[in-house]
Amino acid sequence: MNAHQESCDVIIVGGGMVGLALACALKHSGLHIVLIERREATVRESLGRDCRVSAIVRGNVRILEGLGVWPYLEQSAGPIRAMRIWDNQEPGGIRFDAAEIGEDALGFLVENSQLQKAMHRCLLDAEHVEYLCPAELERVAWTDESVRATLKDGTAWTAPLIVGADGGRSWLRGKAGIDCHQRDFRQQGIVATVRPERGHAGVAYQRFLPTGPLAMLPMSGGLCSIVWSADDDEAGRLMAMDDDAFLEALNATFGPVLGRLVGTGARAAFPLKAQLARHIVRPRLALIGDAAHTVHPLAGLGVNLGLRDAMVLAQEIVDARRFDEDWGELSVLNRYMKQRLPDVLAVMGAMEGFHQLFTRDVPGLKLLRGAGMRLVGNSGAIKHLLMRNSTGLSLPVPRQIG
């Protein structure tokens, strides 16, 4: 093995959706970007579709448009034109319509693998982005002036900044000695693609159950993606069922809103946890996406937070270069952190609040939930503000790096 050393301007560890978004955002910056990914992701298919999906909110669709990614996605993305939310078997609920905020959709449901493919296509003409896959880091060392990342093949890269985009169990975060605040919900999220008897008309449904929410999300082609949050024991029971038994349980729980659910593909389950890194930045290190924070998938906002991280960090890097600043210095990285923390903490707090509100069996809480939902549903101003914030349309995040 012949070891050699190379230099670049930014090292990105992790080639998932968020790491790729940062590379796309920086591709016209003139900076030399090296993106390191251990292996290509394995796609778990369910009725011929990726069972891992993301609801990209309207504001973040504009980000993807600005990056040049959206044209590769819009044909396969399923528009979410409205959302209906209700509390278990209680009557009523809330309906949010995109038309109420002057939009054609609240967001779009995309398959994670399709979003990654679109980002790869966007990077094909990027002269200054190197995508190394499969490639695995062996060690990383920081100095006052740079960071040195050594691959298992002996190649060493030095740069002013290294970015951790390598997920909730971030290797880079661990090597930096950064711990996390953690919240284990003791639940599993069950995901699968299902076929409803009736058309979904672009409406997303979310039913809050005592053990967690069941989301039915509209996909293109008339299919739906489910995210069923259940306590660990119940999730194990559901995962052990054959397809017919699982469909019966799903129909009984979701109800006849879309007629019967008549088909299901393969299921997958993942543990539900929330965590926040104790340090999102260090000298010559920034964390983005799940490496920095993970949230309950209740509202499908995790990837959206990561995309906003990538855009804010990219803008700070480009601005620092423009003004001859060292973009790996803590003074620059703190600007990224201070912009992102309010959004991240607000979403994490809201998800924890919703979880407690809908899963705790406290006398009078059901009446309080019902009154709150009626208040939001009947108050145009509150509802409009909530929709603008949840779709990311009112957040000060760059849509395109200038």
Residue ranges of domains in the chain, CATH in brackets: 5-46+109-181+275-371 (3.50.50.60)
Give, in order, the Cα–Cα distances in Å from 110 to each of 159, 311, 327.
Answer: 34, 19, 33
pLDDT at 220 over 50: yes
Query: Do 398 and 311 contact (CB within 8 A), yes or no?
Result: yes
Tell me how far apart the alpha carbons of residues 239 and 227 are, in angstroms, rounded to a whole number. Answer: 13
Task: Report pTM.
Answer: 0.93
Question: Rounded to whole angstroms, how far apart are CA atoms 159 and 140?
Answer: 11
- The mean pLDDT value for 30-39 works out to 97
pLDDT at 1: 43
pLDDT digits (tens, 9 = 90+) for 14-32: 999 999 999 999 999 999 9
How many C-beta neighbours within 10 Å does residue 260 have? 15
Q: What is the mean pLDDT of residues 152-165?
A: 97
Q: How do 33-36 and 129-132 pair as beta strands? A: parallel
The pLDDT assigned to 56 comes to 96
Q: Once rounded to an integer, what is the mean pLDDT over residues 96-122?
A: 95
User: Is the pLDDT at 360 greater than 70, yes or no?
Assistant: no
% of residues, the chain, pLDDT over 90: 76
How far apart, in whole angstroms, are the C-alpha atoms of residue 303 and residue 142?
28
- Res. 77: pLDDT tops 80: yes
Q: Look at residues 97, 115, 114, 117 and name the one whose alpha carbon lies nearest to residue 106.
A: 97
* Cβ-defined contacts of 169-172 (< 8 Å, 24+): 170/14, 170/287, 170/290, 170/291, 171/13, 171/137, 172/13, 172/14, 172/137, 172/140, 172/285, 172/287, 172/291
Terminal CA-to-CA distance of the chain, rounded, Å? 41
Q: Which amino acid is at 272?
A: L
Quick one: angle between helices 365-378 and 330-359, nearest 10?
A: 120
Give burial (CB, 10 Å; 0-12/13-18/19+) of 354.
middle
Tokens coding 237: 């029971």
